[in-house]
Structure 1
Amino acid sequence: MKVCIYGAGAIGGYLGVLLAEAGAEVTLIARGPHLAAMREKGLTLEIDGGVRTARVSATDRPAEAGPQDYVVVTLKAPSLPQVAEDLQPLLGPSTAVVTAQNGIPWWYFHAHGGPYDGRPLERVDPGGRLWRLIPPERCIGCVVYPATELVEPARIRHTYGNRFMLGEPDGSRSERVSALSRLMLAAGLKAPVRPRIRDDIWFKLWGNLSFNPVSALTGGTLEQIAGDPATRAVVRAMMVEGQAVAEALGVRFSLDVDKRIEGAAEVGAHKTSMLQDLERGRAMEIDALVGVVAELGALVGVETPTVDCVLALVEQRAALAGCYSRPA
Structure 2
Amino acid sequence: MKALIMGAGAIGSLMGGFLAKAGAEVVLVGRRAHVEAVRSRGLRVEGPLGSFIVKVDAHEKPEEAKGDFDLVLITVKAYDTAEAAKQVKRLVEKQAVPLCLQNGLGVEEEASRVLGTVVFRGVTNNGAMLAQPGTVLHTGVGETLIGGRGVLMEKLVTMLNASGLPARKVDNIAEVVWIKTLVNAGINPLGAITGLRNGELLEVGWLRSLMKAVVEEGASIAKKMGVELGIDPVELTFKVAKDTANNKNSMLQDLERKKRTEVDYINGAIVKAAQQVGMEAPLNEALTKLVKAMEGVRWRN
**TM-score scaled by length of structure 1:** 0.85
Which residue of the partner structure matches residue 37 of structure 1?
A: 37
The 5 A counterparts of 1:1-328 are 1-48=1-48, 50-65=50-65, 66-107=67-108, 125=110, 130-137=111-118, 139-168=119-148, 173-266=149-242, 267-322=244-299
| Residues 68-108 of structure 1: per-residue CA shift (max 9 Å, x gap) | 11011111112223333222232244321111101113335
Alpha-carbon distance in structure 1 between the residues aligned to 2:291 and 2:138: 30
1:189 deviation in Å?
Answer: 2.3
1:136 deviation in Å?
Answer: 4.7
Report the secondary structure of 2:139's partner residue.
strand
The amino acid across from 2:19 in the alignment is: L
The alignment of Structure 1 onto Structure 2 pairs a total of residues equal to: 298
Kept in 2: contact 1:67–1:91 (CA 8 A): no
1:288 deviation in Å?
Answer: 0.7
1:177 deviation in Å?
Answer: 1.8
1:216 deviation in Å?
Answer: 1.7
1:258 deviation in Å?
Answer: 4.0
- Residue identity (%): 31
Alpha-carbon distance in structure 1 between the residues aligned to 2:164 and 2:240: 26
RMSD of the alignment, in Å?
A: 1.9
Alpha-carbon distance in structure 1 between the residues aligned to 2:97 and 2:222: 26
Report the secondary structure of 1:322's partner residue.
helix
Alpha-carbon distance in structure 1 between the residues aligned to 2:161 and 2:49: 21
1:54 deviation in Å?
Answer: 0.9
| Residues 160-179 of structure 1: per-residue CA shift (max 9 Å, x gap) | 214210002xxxx3223222
Kept in 2: contact 1:244–1:302 (CA 8 A): no
Report the secondary structure of 2:241's partner residue.
helix
Alpha-carbon distance in structure 1 between the residues aligned to 2:156 and 2:89: 21
The amino acid across from 1:143 in the alignment is: V
| Residues 11-56 of structure 1: per-residue CA shift (max 9 Å, x gap) | 2122212211222111111122111111111111113474311111
Kept in 2: contact 1:43–1:154 (CA 8 A): yes
Assess, with a 3 A threshold, how the Cα gap between structure 1 residues 102 and 21 changes in structure 2: closer, same or farther: same
Normalized per residue, which structure has more helix?
A: 2
The amino acid across from 1:319 in the alignment is: G
1:148 deviation in Å?
Answer: 1.7
Which runs of 5 or more residues in structure 2 are unaligned? none
